[in-house]
């Protein structure tokens, strides 16, 4: 792994928090992700399932975590199953975790090979009434590809049809939404790497560069700083492409007079960051570009201040929408009379600001969380208002990552340049 070791205290605490939410007589199972094939004998780089990582710190394929708090054999209350390595595997793929290494990383005393899983699991299943199984219940998930969790659910329900089955996903949504100090430090590290990437770009962007060249600079800086790479597909959108929310082609040449909207963030130790910045390709904003940019920045600052304990996400988004509505009128995008007569369910500002302002951030970029749960200290959310004016070829989004605390919001990207004057200065050095 590229990142520095994480203290096992994080994972020990996470498992205890899980145990506190399980029914008596329960057994919970977490599976690693598959290694995804491409074609022929090709595969993608392995990316761990974030739930098993959250619970164990194990970043290796074919791993299984079993948590059975009431197991009669105390050694079986937490079991980590690993793929058994061999000389052949070590030669072709490199070393895998030993049992001792996995125990140090996870804080789990009992580590067994996966060849023993079925025998041990059947024994434990006979002792419990509830089986907690995991699956991806994210609202925006694409579930067309069958996962190891999906296959395990089918096998388990066939082998043990009379048990009471429970969902782990609601528990994970609750636990993962509030970050521990160790997790916040890891997110800070991801944000720090992202800052290095952005500052690098300010000295690189100029008329004539290609969007994919900008993307290459991002990859270089991230990998150089112990990141696996971007936490998600980077958006590098110049000119009219900035009005396409999920533009990832990154194949256009940046032209004089364009803005370039960049949405990217480094991963570090599986934790993510998420930054958006919009800069002028020439190194100077036009008056109109500057007016739009400043409007979005004003909305962002007010929105960040709303990220406080007790605020509900729905109310927050509505309030931010009101701010953007006023800015849109001031920019001449909307008519005040039309706004006054609008359908409240279809506000006119959504023509120019059509996405939400914030989402949870953590092990996933769009991290799991309850949309109806009020903001709580320890949550980390993005704040990313934007304006997209297709007729003018102007798209501006500004995004920072914010920690909710009892004393108010803490901007984890506060040192990343955002003021128009500072961006222009750095681009023209």
Q: Would you call 296 exposed, middle or buried from its count of C-beta atoms within 10 A (0-12, 13-18, 19+)?
A: buried
159 & 232 share domain = no
CATH number for the domain harbouring residue 105:
3.40.350.10
**SS3 call for 381:** strand
Q: Catalytic residues, which ones? A: 41, 246, 263, 274, 355, 359, 366, 384, 388, 397, 399
Pairing verdict, β 78-82 and 110-113: parallel
133 & 196 share domain = no
Whether residue 139 has pLDDT greater than 90:
no
Instruction: Show which of 177, 196, 216 is a domain's final residue.
Output: 177
Q: How far is CA 145 from CA 141, 148, 242, 368, in A?
A: 10, 10, 30, 19
* Cβ contact 66:32 at 8 Å: no
Token representation of residue 187: 């997110």
In angstroms, the CA 405 to CA 410 distance is 7
Q: How many other C-beta atoms can be found within 10 angstroms of the C-beta atom of residue 145?
A: 9
In angstroms, the CA 71 to CA 78 distance is 9
pLDDT tens string 157-211: 999 999 999 999 999 999 999 999 999 999 999 999 999 999 999 999 999 999 9
Average pLDDT across the chain, whole number: 96
In angstroms, the CA 375 to CA 360 distance is 10
The domain of 130 spans: 9-177
Instruction: Show which of 120, 154, 177 is a domain's final residue.
Output: 177
Strand (E) or helix (H) holding 31: strand 26-31
Q: At what angle do helices 181-202 and 211-224 cross, to 10 degrees?
A: 140
Q: Is residue 2 part of a domain?
A: no
pLDDT tens string 267-279: 999 999 999 999 9
Largest CA distance in the chain: 75
DSSP states along 48-105: --HHHHHHH----SS-EEEE-TT-SSGGGSEEEEEPPP-HHHHHHH-----HHHHHHH
Instruction: Show which of 145, 162, 177 is a domain's final residue.
Output: 177
Count of domains for the chain: 2
406 & 315 share domain = yes
CATH number for the domain harbouring residue 398:
3.90.230.10
Q: Which residue has the tokens 């570090």?
A: 268
Find the mean pLDDT for residues 20-48.
94
243 & 142 share domain = no
Helices (H) and strands (E) in the chain, counts: 13, 16
pLDDT value of position 143 = 79
Q: How far is CA 14 from CA 106, 154, 171, in A?
A: 11, 27, 11
Q: At what angle do helices 181-202 and 9-19 cross, to 10 degrees?
A: 130
Q: Is residue 319 part of a domain?
A: yes
pLDDT tens string 220-279: 999 999 999 999 999 999 999 999 999 999 999 999 999 999 999 999 999 999 999 999
Q: Is residue 1 part of a domain?
A: no
291 & 196 share domain = yes
Half-sphere exposure for 161 (CA within 13 Å, toward CB): 1
Q: Is residue 366 part of a domain?
A: yes
164 & 185 share domain = no
202 & 163 share domain = no
């Amino acid at each position: 792994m590229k990142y520095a070791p994480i203290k096992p205290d994080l994972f020990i605490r996470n498992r205890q928090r899980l145990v506190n939410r399980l029914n008596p007589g329960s057994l919970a199972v977490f599976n690693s992700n598959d290694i995804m094939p491409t074609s022929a004998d090709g595969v993608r780089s392995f990316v761990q399932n974030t739930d098993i990582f959250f619970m164990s710190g194990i970043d290796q394929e074919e791993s299984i975590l079993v948590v059975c708090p009431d197991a009669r054999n105390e050694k079986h209350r937490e079991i980590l199953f690993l793929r058994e390595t061999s000389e052949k595997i070590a030669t072709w793929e490199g070393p895998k975790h030993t049992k001792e290494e996995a125990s140090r990383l996870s804080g789990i005393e009992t580590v067994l090979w996966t060849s023993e899983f079925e025998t041990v699991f059947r024994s434990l299943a006979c002792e419990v009434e509830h089986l907690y199984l995991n699956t991806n219940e994210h609202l925006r998930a694409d579930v067309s590809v069958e996962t190891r969790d999906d296959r395990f659910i089918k096998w388990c329900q066939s082998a043990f049809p009379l048990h009471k089955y429970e969902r782990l996903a609601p528990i994970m949504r609750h636990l993962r939404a509030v970050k521990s100090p160790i997790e916040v430090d890891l997110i800070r590290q991801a944000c720090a790497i992202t800052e290095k990437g952005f500052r690098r770009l300010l000295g690189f962007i100029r008329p004539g560069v290609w969007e994919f060249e900008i993307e290459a600079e991002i990859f270089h800086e991230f990998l150089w700083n112990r990141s696996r790479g971007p936490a998600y597909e980077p958006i590098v959108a110049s000119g009219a492409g900035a009005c396409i929310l999920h533009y990832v082609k990154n194949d256009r040449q940046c032209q004089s007079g364009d803005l370039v909207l960049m949405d990217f963030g480094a991963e570090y130790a599986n934790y993510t960051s998420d930054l958006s910045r919009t800069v002028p390709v020439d190194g100077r904003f036009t008056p109109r570009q500057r007016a739009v940019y400043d409007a979005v920045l004003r909305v962002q600052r007010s929105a960040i201040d709303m990220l406080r304990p007790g605020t509900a996400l729905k109310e927050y988004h509505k309030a931010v929408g009101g701010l953007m509505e006023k800015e849109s009128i001031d920019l001449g995008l909307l008519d005040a009379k039309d706004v006054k007569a609008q359908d409240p369910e279809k506000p006119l500002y959504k023509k120019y600001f059509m996405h939400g302002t914030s989402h949870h951030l953590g092990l996933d970029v769009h991290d799991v969380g309850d949309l109806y749960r009020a903001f709580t200290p320890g949550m980390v959310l993005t704040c990313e208002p934007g304006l997209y004016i297709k007729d003018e070829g102007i798209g501006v989004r500004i995004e920072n990552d914010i920690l909710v605390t009892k004393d108010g919001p803490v901007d984890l990207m506060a040192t990343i340049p955002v003021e128009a004057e500072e961006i222009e200065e750095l681009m023209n050095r």
